[in-house]
Structure 1
Amino acid sequence: MMHARPVYKTDAAKLSDYFTRNQSHFQRWDPLRPVNFHSVANWQQRLNHLYTEPRTEYWFALADAEKIIAHCALSNVVQGPFQACYMGYGIDADYQGRGLMPNLCQTALAFGFQRLSLHRVMANYMPHNLRSGALLARLGFEKEGLAKEYLCINGEWQDHVLTSLLARHFNAPR
């Protein structure tokens, strides 16, 4: 049974397996990565850093006892007058289209708005990534604009639709 949970410091091997298994699937949505970027050792180093205070990043996974099949990250968390972050996510190619991502993203958003007291969560997607746009709309994110050549993805500068969700518009899972 899959359930949404925080990523644990002990998840390096599971994260390495998940991202390695889905390398070709994620390639069109990700920046170019060094060869060992998803090695167990590199993931362990990243997780050790992730849990260092002050934290600016929080990861969540959809997982069972053996493997991770989806992730959702709140990154670049800024407190103070901004109280905002970015949200990124992905799902295993074999599990797409099953309606699993909203629950995982809702878990991350509830943490961000309720535990971190964020005011705003931003998530951006490439205009041709229709699944991502539909997920964000389902979660209540509103389009704010289009950023030309916003990120270098898979070696090419890509436009991105900018979206956000404000705390007052978040519908917590019941």
Structure 2
Amino acid sequence: MIEIRPVKIQDANELLDLDIRNRTLFETYSAADRKNADYQLYNYRKNIDKQLQDMKNDDGYHYVIVQIEENKIIGTIDLFAVVRHNIQSCMMGYALDQAYNGKGITTYAAKEVIKIAFNELGFHRVEAGVQPTNIGSVKVLEKAGMIREGLNRANVRINGEWKDHYLYAIVNENF
């Protein structure tokens, strides 16, 4: 069973461990340009402090994916790039421990966070970008009800190389 909950400062150790275990996978698809020195507990606490401030300021919303039986953080899912006023949109991004891939966990988490975005946070639109080669993530977005709207060519630099991304979105029809 899986739980989605807001990140807490006490999660820093587990998030550091998660990222170290999955460093190769995460750095393949993430725009975060990390160096060895970034993988320190101090930096994770500082990042969580910023995430907590983001949530207070309506600048972003940051959640962890918890495997309840093991009481273990196995992933993260975030709403970021918040735009309010006449737009009311945000981007969604996620990362899951490779050991748990292929079990529907990320799809479940995406559906839950989309519900939160629409029902609790008042967003009209949630977007996500995914590299065309990341077939698992493409499936997650489609199973979560998102629609592919186009291709953003060379729009994100990952490991020094510009990568194409499909743009997916879902609109709150009740907004």
Q: How high is the TM-score relative to the length of structure 1?
A: 0.90
Give the counterpart of 2:63 among 48, 53, 60: 60
Aligned length: 170
Confirm or deny: 8 A CA contact 1:60 1:104 kept in the other structure: no
In 2, the alpha carbon distance for the partners of 1:41 and 1:162 equals: 34
Q: What is aligned with 1:39?
A: 40
> What's the secondary structure of 1:118's corresponding residue?
coil
Percent identity over the alignment is 31
Task: Please tell me whether residue 17 in structure 1 is matched to residue 27 in structure 2.
Answer: no
C-alpha displacement of 1:109: 1.2
Q: CA deviation at 1:169?
A: 7.8
1:1-174 equivalence runs, <5 A? 2-31=2-31, 32-52=33-53, 53-63=56-66, 64=68, 66-168=71-173
**Structure 1 range deviating more: 6-15 or 128-137:** 6-15
CA distance in 2: counterparts of 1:96 and 1:89, whole angstroms = 12
Long gaps (5+) in structure 1:
none
Given that 2:2 and 2:105 are in contact with CA atoms closer than 8 Å, whether structure 1 keeps it comes out as no
Residues of 1 paired with 2:58 and 2:137: CA distance?
26
Shift of the alpha carbon at 1:66? 4.5
1-side partners of 2:35 and 2:62: how far apart?
21
Is the 8 Å Cα contact of residues 18 and 67 (structure 1) preserved in structure 2? no
Please list every run of at least 4 consecutive aligned residues from structure 1 whose deviation after the TM superposition is greater than 6 angstroms: none
Cα displacement string for residues 100-127 of structure 1 (whole angstroms, at most 9, x for unaligned residues): 1122112211111111100000001011
Q: 1:86, CA displacement in angstroms?
A: 0.4
- Shift, 1:3, TM fit: 2.1
- In 1: Cα distance, 2:11 partner to 2:110 partner: 19
- Please give the root-mean-square deviation of Cα atoms over the aligned residues, in Å: 1.8
User: What TM-score does the superposition give when structure 2 sets the normalisation length?
Assistant: 0.90
